[in-house]
Chain A
Amino acid sequence: MKRFFAILVAVVLVGAASAQTKEIRVLLANHPYGELLKNAIPEFEQATGIKVIVESLQESQLTTKLTTEFATGSSSVDVFMTRPLQEAKMFYKNGWYAALPGYDFSDFPKNSLSVVTFGTKTYVVPIVTEWQVLYYRKDLLQKAGVEVPKTLADLEATAKKINSPDVAGFASRGKGAAAVTQLSTYVYNYGGLYLDKGKAVFDSKPALDAIKYYGRILGNYGPQGATSMSWENIMPLFQAGKLAMWTDASVFYGQIIDPAKSQVPAANIGIANMPAGPKGSSPFIVVSWGMAIAKKTKNLELAGQFLTWATSKEFAKRALASNITMARNSAWEDKEVLKVVNPDLVSTRAFAAKNGYPLDRPYMSAVGEARDRIGELVIESINTKGGSTKLEPMAKDLVRKVNELLEDTGEYGVY
């Protein structure tokens, strides 16, 4: 009898304890913002008494994890980081995002909300914006006696001049699908697009000229093995001083000037607007990351509390102060914050906000496969240094395949 009572008491105590712990599960990306947030979570836990279980994943694995959990209906995820341009259409269609009726979106740029608003409801809070820039080594350009390239023709000439067996003149992503986002600005600057009015158009002459240019400059002056390089592979080369110029998203600036990670002194690293092409300069400026609440969450209120904290004005300022390019307007207007942010980074944002294009990839549900398809062209172009005669027939065929994907998901001709 005694033992029975002891067990009963234990069960009641455990039950009471678990009823009291307020707990949420949060999935973050391995991204500078995700890192910063993860380190700050203890502050949130202390202030609210909510226990946060955090998991951090590499971006494509995050998509896979979320999709598998949501599709099987077994998910216990409450809040998660999401890539609007990659996931929003699919997640919205499948009903995996909770709407955010009470959230104040007035501090966000209008075009950043357009990709996460379906009908009248907004489903994702934009966190980070990224735009494409040119990173360059001031010392190497100076030594070669050249100015910072203003046009794509200049960029190619400069890459040629600096390229040597020790230091590659130029790099940009060459790894098929991963390259598609960074190629986009080149396509825009030549006057092309990936999709137009819900149809694939990357076989147009301007788009093909851009793809040929990209292959030529990377094939001739890029690092060895360019076709298997994404930013994870290029950044270490830049940090090791083996690269003179690099075009990629603005978000990496903080990491390449960090003396703990880079062997190149910050004073030698410059950041500039993307060089202009025949049709001017229109770099992509996109919401690369947002945060959302899972539709099936059982802790809607706690999840909302976490979302509000993690996407607050205060936190945005903190993140911007460590060179993470946040979406909120107020952070970019705060004089105290701007004092510590590199002025060149600020000016490239102003340029992109004024002249940029809000997409960096074909915006469609089947974006993963579409990127692989366009990636085929990128790889063929790099392998042949832009000289392949197969590019045009390949592009025609791939456009047909991407249109087929649009038809499969009922998005063909819809815009």
Chain B
Amino acid sequence: MVRTGFVEKNLRILFPLPAIAFVMVMMIFPIAYTAFLSFTNWNLTSGQPLNLVGLRSYARVLREPRVLDAIGRTFLFTGGAVFVEAILGTTVALVLHREFFGKGLMKLLLLLPLVATPVAIGIVWNLFYDPTIGLANYALSILGIPKLAWVSDARTVIAALVVVDVWQWTPMISLIVLAGLAGLSSEPYEAARVDGATERQILWNITLPMVMPTILTAMILRTVDALKTFDIIFAMTGGGPGYSSETLNVLGFKYSFEYFKMGQASVILVFLFAIVLLCSILIMKVRDRTQV
């Protein structure tokens, strides 16, 4: 009877406990441990146990030009991909919001890139991009355009990777925006039509402003995801040629599993964590401001 009383009294602590435990073990602990490791010099190649070295690993990492390049590249890749995806995705959603024959089939086809395995996508796109035997250059040669080296050229590799990301993730933005469009109330449209607004005016002055919070939400999700893209880049280029497609995440992998400098790798991941956090907060602020 006493026990029942205890449970009854502490329901609001006991019920969320499993969830709290899960978050602690699976989310808080790894982040805290990474932060701890970033203050050590743990390096498997030295065969020495780890030592706390304060900010020395941070200094080493910041002195390395590759890290600064990777930070810039992470933003370039993310910015390029999310920008194109938002425009294309919204356009596709606006098209799909109308009724036309074969709409269901279109939606189904649109879903396919989303459910494909990233590494498989990477392999297929690599075949497509192959400079000597790939389809991409064959298509260019038919059009009489000189061949490109695509992911094999430091100048084109990021753009080529952005194309793959756009191909895969535009449909996600479309789906989210489509859901947003379906939820819009019809009253403003009726009022606009009564006032004699053109289709274009309706699109620019009513539809887009009303669906903007949804678009921004979709962009937050994509930005967070794109900032930490790993699978496609690693499968397609491994960060190359040279270091020209190394984003922070790829660099973090290299530092940990190819160089075995776990301390410095943790520093890189702490940076990535901070960047993702800041970007999310920033976009959330923007979204709150656009909320009607």
Q: Measuring CB to CB, which residues of chain A are less than 8 angstroms from any residue of chain B?
A: 60, 64, 67-68, 71, 89-90, 93-94, 175-176, 223-229, 236-237, 240, 242, 365-366, 368-369, 372, 375-376, 379, 383, 408-410
Contacts and interface: CB of A to CB of B under 8 A. Distances in A.
A67 B259 CA distance: 11
B138 to A, nearest CB: 13
A224 B257 contact: no
B152 A224 contact: yes
Contact of B131 (A224, A376, A379): A224
Given A366-B259, A369-B258, A369-B259, A224 B147 contact: yes
A227 B152 contact: yes
A365 B240 contact: no
Contact of B153 (A175, A223, A225): A225
Nearest to B137: A224
B43 A60 contact: no
Interface string B19-60: 000000000000000000000000111110000000000000
Contacts of A379: 241-242
Contacts of A369: 258-259, 261
B266 interface: no
A172 to B, nearest CB: 15
Given A68-B257, A176-B240, A90 B152 contact: no
Contacts of B240: 175-176, 227-228
Contact of A90 (B237, B241, B242, B260): B260
A372 B253 CA distance: 14
B132 interface: yes
B112 interface: no
Contacts of B142: none
Task: Name the interface size band of chain B.
Answer: 20 to 34
Given A90-B47, A224-B152, A225-B131, A368 B242 contact: no
Contacts of B145: none
Given A90-B45, A90-B260, A242-B132, A376 B152 contact: no
A226 B132 CA distance: 11
B194 interface: no
Interface string B207-249: 0000000000000000000000000000001001111000000
A175 B241 contact: yes
A60 B261 CA distance: 16
Contacts of A368: 258-260
B2 interface: no
Contacts of B259: 366, 368-369
Contacts of A228: 151-152, 237, 240-241
B133 interface: yes
B149 interface: yes
Given A94-B44, A365-B46, A227 B258 contact: no
Contacts of B149: 224-225
Nearest to A174: B241
Given A93-B46, A228-B241, A376-B242, 11 more contacts: A60-B258, A67-B257, A176-B242, A225-B152, A227-B242, A228-B240, A365-B46, A366-B259, A379-B241, A408-B43, A408-B45
Interface string B85-99: 000000000000000
Contacts, number: 85
Question: Secondary structure at chain A's binding surface: helix, strand, loop or mixed?
Answer: helix
Given A224-B149, A369-B258, A237 B132 contact: yes
Contacts of A410: 46
A393 B56 CA distance: 27
Nearest to A401: B64
A67 B237 contact: no
Contacts of A242: 132-133
A21 B59 CA distance: 53
Contacts of A60: 258
Contacts of B132: 223-225, 237, 242
A7 B235 CA distance: 49
Contact of A227 (B46, B47, B130, B241): B241
B223 to A, nearest CB: 28
A409 B151 CA distance: 35
Interface in B247-278: 254, 257-261
A216 to B, nearest CB: 18
A67 B147 contact: no
Nearest to A243: B132
B45 A365 contact: yes
A57 to B, nearest CB: 13
A61 to B, nearest CB: 9
Nearest to B245: A228
A67 B241 contact: no
Contacts of A224: 131-132, 147, 149, 152
Nearest to A364: B45
A409 B242 contact: no
Nearest to B253: A64
B241 A94 contact: no
8 contacts: A176-B242, A224-B131, A224-B152, A225-B130, A236-B133, A365-B46, A366-B260, A409-B46
A56 B150 CA distance: 31
Interface in B93-142: 130-133
Nearest to A70: B44
Nearest to B255: A369
Contacts of B45: 89-90, 93, 365-366, 408-409
Contacts of A237: 132-133
B264 to A, nearest CB: 10
A71 B261 CA distance: 12
Nearest to B157: A228
Contacts of A175: 240-241
Contact of B241 (A68, A93, A176, A409): A176
Nearest to B41: A408
Contacts of B130: 225
Nearest to A176: B242
A89 B46 CA distance: 9
Contacts of A67: 44, 257, 260
A410 B259 CA distance: 16
Interface centre among B47, B147, B151, B242 (most CB of A within 10 A): B242
